[in-house]
Amino acid sequence: MDLLDTLTAKGLRRELPTREEALAVLATTDDELLDVVAAAGKVRRQWFGRRVKLNYLVNLKSGLCPEDCSYCSQRLGSKAEILKYTWLKPEQAAEAAAAGLAGGAKRVCLVASGRGPTDRDIDRVADTIAAIKDANEQVEVCACLGLLSDNQAERLKAAGADAYNHNLNTSEATYGDITTTHTYADRVDTVQKAHGAGLSACSGLIAGMGESDEDLVDVVFALRDLGSDSVPVNFLIPFEGTPLAQEWNLSPQRCLRILAMVRFVCPDIEVRIAGGREVHLRSLQPLGLEIANSIFLGDYLTSEGQAGQADLDMIKDAGFTVEGADERTLPRHRADAVAGGCGGASASPCGTEAHACGTGGCGPCGGHAEPAEAAAEVKDLIEAESSDEARTDLVRVRRRGAGTELAPNA
């Protein structure tokens, strides 16, 4: 298929596809799906080998948010029966984080509901970061606290935060359809503040909210232009009690095409399968690992994921390995750019004579054969998941871990 050959070649060179090419990926048929996954997989393996980075969420403050984001179970006016609690103490958050780290996570994501943090909230999070890093100095910490005011990103950086997450979620053209209490520009400004303070920018999207293919391509190109180092791809969890509770627009095949499109646009960027993978990818989750190089371990903010051990078994059974704390996630040229060294989005692609980052290459390169028998098994799985029936039974509210007395899932 000429399209996939072109996209694979561009991905191996870190060359941006055209919007038309990205749209064409989303328009491919189910009969072409294995070819799409295989092509995106070649790009993924070029830059990330067969490593899977594990991330672990700790919900520091749950529910009662004043913002009206239609997709969120914590929104203003939400009737979703989620856990609601105020700030965890630093030692409580550190204990929750330890469960994820014991399960193999190398990044802890500290999340708090709300429009944005106060200066006192920044102090709380700083104490929490210290408590987590005192127990494990190698751990990466990503904060996700909403819209940032001036100098707050710098304070988080000084406190030991490594990254800041703030998703764009959808295209600028349709942002007003899902949120009215803040703007798309507000979100872009926060990502830029984080970047400017020296934090690694983590910013992604939510698919399945009724958006068009053009909206998906627009937001992914915007994320690429913003310089996101990691792109979480969320698949909408239609919580009862939220305005989008009836938006069941995704199939496992659609999710894989979206992941592949993101990979082609962001070939050397950490692509993370985030919320909703168990609900929408279901038995095709291992195919998602062929495209993305990062997932969340265990539960999410207000919903339950599959058992942490099941995540680890899936990774092993699919022939991948969990990325170790001493392994670099990003290819060398991007890691150096984050640290203020050479490389970056405009650096010369891996394998060219103009390679700018010295010896050692840009990451694990080389392809892997796809056994015919494995491909046949995958084809059977794809056909088995070809159903338009919504799996509402897979949406489960989190009742364990942070904010409860029950052990977390990790």
Those residues whose C-beta lies under 8 Å from the C-beta of residue 388, and which sit 6 or more positions away, are 251
Token reading at 72: 């969120």
Give dist(CA 128, CA 144) in Å, integer: 13
3-state secondary structure of 165: strand
Yes or no: say if 175 and 132 are a contact pair by the CB < 8 Å rule.
Answer: no
Q: Which of 271, 276, 220, 270 is nearest to 252 (CA)?
A: 276
Widest distance between CA atoms in the chain: 58
Q: How far from each other are the two terminal CA atoms of the chain, in whole angstroms?
A: 41
Just list the catalytic residues.
65, 69, 72, 109, 142, 202, 272
Q: Which amino acid is at 107?
A: R
Those residues whose C-beta lies under 8 Å from the C-beta of residue 286, and which sit 6 or more positions away, are 314, 317, 318
∠ CA 187-222-66, nearest 5°, is: 20
Give dist(CA 180, CA 163) in Å, integer: 27
The tokens 């082609």 sit on which residue? Answer: 264
Element (H, E) at 395: none
Question: Number of H helices and number of E strands within the chain?
Answer: 14, 10
Burial class (CB in 10 A: 0-12, 13-18, 19+), 245: middle
The tokens 């709300």 sit on which residue? Answer: 114
Q: Which amino acid is at 404?
A: T
Q: Which of 83, 87, 386, 114 is nearest to 239 (CA)?
A: 83
Burial class (CB in 10 A: 0-12, 13-18, 19+), 29: exposed
Q: Which amino acid is at 375?
A: A
Distance set, CA 65 to CA 150, 182, 274, 342 (Å)? 21, 13, 21, 41
Give dist(CA 112, CA 114) in Å, integer: 7
